[in-house]
Amino acid sequence: MSGAEYVHDGPGRDGARADGVRGGGPGDSGSRRGGADGDGARPERTLTALPPARGRGFARTWWGQAWLKALEDTALDGGQLRRGRGHARQGAVGAVSVRPGRITAVVRDRDRTPYRSDVLLREFTGAEWDRLLEVVADRSGHIAALLDRDMPPQLAEDAAAAGVELLPGTGDLEPECGCEAWDHCPHTAALCYQLARLLDEDPFLLLLMRGRAEREVLDGLQARSTARAARHVPRAAEDALPPAPEGVPAREAFAAPGPPPLPAPPPAVAAPGRPPALTGGTDPAGGLDVAALEFLAADAAVRAQRLLAEALAPGHAASPVPAALTVWQDTVRLTAAGPPAPVAARLAAACGRDRTDLARAVRAWQHGGAAALTVLEDEWTPDPEALARARLRLAAAWEDDGPAPRLRAAGNRWTVVGAGLQVRYGRDGRWWPYRKERGRWWPAGPAAADPAAALATPGADG
């Protein structure tokens, strides 16, 4: 909710203000409760008008509901409250000004006549504020809740036990309206219902009406918390504290030598290391698959050599960190590495896919790793902008090479009619060739930036 400046004009003739709002400005009528004491600046928040509240209640929090209960217990005419709810639901309440002892808004009647409406609430005395702040500072949970724009019921109960009624009760919400009603009218009722919505979001508004702004409340709580902490530090503990270190002049700090330089990067490795042979003169322990362990060691050596080469490549520091592989992706990667037949059989049996699915996935991995596997399994529909870019690429792909083939589109896939060929558009903007074999689409080559080049790969064109 953003604040906005609230401009008041002087009263006009016949009780109407010069801007057409019935009722005077904030200082036109004497405040029966609260209001400014003397000429000092008083805290004020002006909150922009809320949209209509159709289809929802006016208070979700217990303190917002307590505010409305005070209104409904005070008003003598239930019909006026019903009309006020209707005004609030229809968005008839303008910007709401909240200040100590008073809230103000312009409320439009059904005929669109604007009325200046005020609701007054008694400010706390200095002694009441002292007791309230002591209660809140006594429990760290109360402070944390207020900072989270929450007001636990225990806070109000503790305040009441200290003689401070934080929330209004029957008769505490006193109306003043330009329509000159002596009780709550539809305009002041609408203002109260609207304020319940604002209180839901920020209970500090209630404290502002009671006399103090949020910053002043928090400063008071901080001062009390600091004083309490100081009182609880034993004198012996204070004496045991080490003396504060002396400062170092900035000239000396900047003249001191910096940290030692980083060591030189390791040299590149031309080929993966050879893992040790695990077969020997003794039989392996029961349940240990020596062939699988040797394969994994060899695979780890290959990956280590590749990761080192990538780390030494120019621009590696600015490269994004690749996503971790899923179990399925790692199974495909290991199978594509060519394990011994028993290990390959174990991978195939444990992956939860049939052999054809695994074979298609392995072929995709061999053409482009995880990106190619994603294109194999990810069927999606490009958004209008991406689809327009893809169609432009397709239209331009065969401009210099004769007529374009006839293509049938489905999602991100364009199939060559009558040829058993297909190109798939990846989310990265590249094109991947596919060929139909035994009734299923198989990856046919690496990605290309041009769809015609992708279809011209040896695997795709047969």
Q: What pLDDT is stored for residue 8 in this prediction?
A: 33
Separation of alpha carbons 442 and 436, rounded Å: 6
Q: What is the pLDDT of residues 210-269, one digit of tens each?
A: 999 999 999 988 888 888 777 665 655 555 666 767 777 877 777 777 777 888 888 888
In whole numbers, what is the pLDDT of the chain averaged over residues?
A: 83
Q: Is 158 a residue whose pLDDT tops 50?
A: yes
Q: What pLDDT is stored for residue 310 in this prediction?
A: 85
Q: For residue 99, give both structure tokens.
A: 């200040």
Percent of the chain with pLDDT over 90: 41
Residues ≥6 apart with Cβ < 8 Å to 109: 87, 92, 115, 179, 186, 187
Better-predicted residue by pLDDT, 19 or 152: 152
Percent of the chain with pLDDT over 70: 85
Q: What pLDDT is stored for residue 67 in this prediction?
A: 93
Q: What pLDDT is stored for residue 17 in this prediction?
A: 44
Q: What pLDDT is stored for residue 15 in this prediction?
A: 37
Q: What pLDDT is stored for residue 377 in this prediction?
A: 93
Q: What pLDDT is stored for residue 173 in this prediction?
A: 93
Q: What is the pLDDT of residues 264-308, one digit of tens each?
A: 888 888 888 887 777 666 777 777 888 888 888 889 988 888 888
Neighbours of 73 (CB within 10 A): 13
Q: Is 362 a residue whose pLDDT tops 50?
A: yes
Better-predicted residue by pLDDT, 231 or 71: 71
Q: What pLDDT is stored for residue 39 in this prediction?
A: 41
Contact 175, 35 (CB under 8 A): no
Global pTM reads: 0.47
Contact 360, 438 (CB under 8 A): no
- State phi, psi for 176 to the nearest 5 degrees: -140, 130
Once rounded to an integer, what is the mean pLDDT over residues 341-351?
90
- State phi, psi for 117 to the nearest 5 degrees: -125, 135
| 9-23, 94-108, 425-439: the lowest-pLDDT one | 9-23
| 63-72, 122-131, 402-411: the lowest-pLDDT one | 402-411
